[in-house]
């Protein structure tokens, strides 16, 4: 099923369209201050989600002032409802990032090359995946999309990071040589829309497969939050779905156009599986590949060569059956969620406490730690 709006002709055109606003900011910083000033700015954007220092160039401050304004169609009630949905299902939604959203992204033959070429994103596997999960946490936490919210600020910074990658691929000789013009522009409009659908429709697709069914109103509110994120990161209005059903159509249209095997996708999938497996006990070896195949489907799993099912499919099916069970009693016995949702609670708990070199990568607001019954540091 396809939409009349999202024809092959239109989406092919979108592969040649990037984000002039953010691209101009990056270009102005480099032309006025040089690469050293630019690299300093990028390091700050990567490592800090808080307010910008006054020393940043005026063009950067102007950019943040302009892009923090939410679209006229933003609905505060829907945003709050979307945040409440995340409050209830956040651990499962983060799991769907690992087992659905990222595998789908890696299965796009053209789009996945950006992650492989930009070595900063592929060298530090843990950091890359943690930052993606943290982005979801920033956006969906209470107040994340409000005035001065962490989600707004994170989305603004992601937009500039995308522009910096496009600049480097266009001007850095090593990256330029590796980029095939037939792929379109790096991080083009179709790729950004596809990623946005991975984080919204993709997450909801995974929840359905796990027998967690959002009400139509909750699903609409969750999608609404991500449409606002799409607006902030520069996705065009004509690439925004009008409804939840529309989001599934757009997601399906893009993946059907872009799906294909690539060395980049396989490498990224291997890194992801090893990352997840590092938080699981040894007796659950193979669970990551099993979960990707079960939640994303055989076609995606085969494309990225994530691996076959193993005996842990029994454990996964038991967990899904418990998800189905808790959906029937969740409002009567909310405290039992921690015990029935054993796998997701346990994995998120270990992810939150993970440190590397004395640095903790993942930050969850205290109210969510309490609601999700996570360990205290």
User: pLDDT tens digits for 267-313?
Assistant: 889 989 988 888 888 888 899 999 999 999 999 999 999 999 999 99
pLDDT tens per residue, range 54-63: 777 888 889 9
**Dist CA 40 CA 35 (whole Å):** 8
Angle at the Cα of 298 from the Cα atoms of 296 and 301, rounded to 5 degrees: 70
pLDDT at 148: 84
Q: Judging by beta carbons within 10 Å of its beta carbon (0-12, 13-18, 19+), is residue 298 exposed, middle or buried?
A: exposed
Mean residue pLDDT across the chain: 85
The residues near 308 (Cβ < 8 Å, ≥ 6 apart) are 289, 293
CA-wise closest residue to 278 among 209, 350, 195? 350
- For residue 234 the two structure tokens come to 């520069």
User: What are the residues facing 356 on neighbouring strands?
Assistant: 359
**Dist CA 197 CA 258 (whole Å):** 14
pLDDT at 10: 96
User: What's the pLDDT band for 116 if we cut at 50, 70, 90?
Assistant: low
pTM above 0.85, yes or no: yes
Locus of tokens 């099993």: 290
CB contact at 8 A, 254 and 194: yes
**Dist CA 244 CA 221 (whole Å):** 9
pLDDT > 50? residue 354: yes
**Dist CA 225 CA 204 (whole Å):** 13
CA-wise closest residue to 140 among 371, 331, 326, 377? 371
**Dist CA 222 CA 247 (whole Å):** 12
**Dist CA 287 CA 254 (whole Å):** 28
Average pLDDT value for residue range 16-23:
96
DSSP readout, 119-148?
A: HHHHH-HHHHHHHHHHHHHHHHSTTTTSTT
Residue 356's H or E segment, with its range, is: strand 355-356
pLDDT > 90? residue 34: no
- For residue 9 the two structure tokens come to 């002709």
pLDDT > 60? residue 167: yes
């Amino acid at each position: 099923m396809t939409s009349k709006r999202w024809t092959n002709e239109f989406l092919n055109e979108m592969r040649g369209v990037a984000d002039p606003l953010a691209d101009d900011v990056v270009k102005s910083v480099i032309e006025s201050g040089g690469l050293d000033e630019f690299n300093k700015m990028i390091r700050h954007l990567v490592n800090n989600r808080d307010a910008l220092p006054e020393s940043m160039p005026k063009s950067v401050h102007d950019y943040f002032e302009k892009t923090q304004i939410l679209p006229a169609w933003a609905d505060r009630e829907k945003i709050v409802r979307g945040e409440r949905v995340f409050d209830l299902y956040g651990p499962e939604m983060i799991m769907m990032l690992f087992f659905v959203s990222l595998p789908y992204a890696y299965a796009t033959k053209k789009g996945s090359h950006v992650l492989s070429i930009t070595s900063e994103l592929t060298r530090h596997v843990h950091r890359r995946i943690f930052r993606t999960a943290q982005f979801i946490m920033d956006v969906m936490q209470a107040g994340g999309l409000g005035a001065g919210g962490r989600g707004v600020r994170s989305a603004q910074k992601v937009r500039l990071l995308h522009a910096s990658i496009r600049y480097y691929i266009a001007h850095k000789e090593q990256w330029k040589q590796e980029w095939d013009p037939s792929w379109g522009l790096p991080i083009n409009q179709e790729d950004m829309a596809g990623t946005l659908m991975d984080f919204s429709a993709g997450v909801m697709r995974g929840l359905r497969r796990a027998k967690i069914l959002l009400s139509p109103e909750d699903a609409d509110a969750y999608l609404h939050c991500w449409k606002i994120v799409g607006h902030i990161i520069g996705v065009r209005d004509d690439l925004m779905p009008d409804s939840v059903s529309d989001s599934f159509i757009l997601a399906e249209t893009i993946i059907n156009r872009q799906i294909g095997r690539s060395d980049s996708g396989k490498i990224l999938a291997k890194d992801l599986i090893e990352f997840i497996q590092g938080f699981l006990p040894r007796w659950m070896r193979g669970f990551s590949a099993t979960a990707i195949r079960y939640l994303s489907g055989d076609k995606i799993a085969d494309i990225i060569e994530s691996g076959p099912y193993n005996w842990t499919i029994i454990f996964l099916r038991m967990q899904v059956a418990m998800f189905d069970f808790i959906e029937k009693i969740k409002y009567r016995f909310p405290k039992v969620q921690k015990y029935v949702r054993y796998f997701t609670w346990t994995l998120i708990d270990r992810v939150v406490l993970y440190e590397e070199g004395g640095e903790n990568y993942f930050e969850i607001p205290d109210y969510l730690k309490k609601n999700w019954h996570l360990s205290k540091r």
